[in-house]
Amino acid sequence: MNKSTITIDVELDQNKLPQQILWKASNSTADEAQKAKAMMIAFWDGKDKSALRVDLWTKEMMVDEMADFFYQTFMTMADTYTRATNQPELAQDIKTFAKNFYTKFRDSQLNTGK
């Protein structure tokens, strides 16, 4: 059986807030750890029927980047949901929400002059 390891290093500042996020995968073509401004990890606990999550972002993560990150995450979740359940109608609902979310974010940025 093949095995892959993903390592995530989070450097914290004096207030224990993420300063830097670095990750590396054992089967990656990248030689060095990759820098990230944010991360979301979710695990499903089948015994407790609950999601276990870790969401972290650094101070460098800008609001517009967070909106992009969420939009892309929603879209990817929709694709994953389709592959896992073969229910493209529900996945389309997620994509519709994602598009509306992003449109509202862009509109709010235009209205505040940012």
User: Over the stretch 37-71, which tens digit does the pLDDT of each residue have?
Assistant: 999 999 999 999 999 999 999 999 999 999 999 99
pLDDT number for residue 67:
97
pLDDT of residue 24 exceeding 80, the answer is yes
Give dist(CA 77, CA 89) in Å, integer. Answer: 13
pLDDT of residue 114 exceeding 60, the answer is no
Q: Domain check: are 16 and 47 in the same one? A: yes
Q: Domain check: are 54 and 70 in the same one? A: no
pLDDT number for residue 31:
84
pLDDT number for residue 37:
98
Structural contact between residues 96 and 51, judged by C-beta atoms closer than 8 angstroms: no
Provide the number of structural domains found in the chain. Answer: 2
**Residue length, the chain?**
114
Give dist(CA 91, CA 85) in Å, integer. Answer: 9
- pTM of the full structure: 0.88
Q: Domain check: are 48 and 4 in the same one? A: yes
Q: Domain check: are 1 and 50 in the same one? A: yes
pLDDT number for residue 110:
87
Q: Domain check: are 24 and 47 in the same one? A: yes
pLDDT number for residue 5:
94
Q: Domain check: are 55 and 71 in the same one? A: no
77-102: average pLDDT: 98
Q: Domain check: are 94 and 113 in the same one? A: yes
Measured CA distances, 102 to 23, 29, 76, 79, 112 (Å): 27, 32, 14, 17, 15
Cα distance from N-terminal residue to C-terminal residue, the chain:
51
- The domain of 9 spans 1-59
Q: Domain check: are 52 and 79 in the same one? A: no
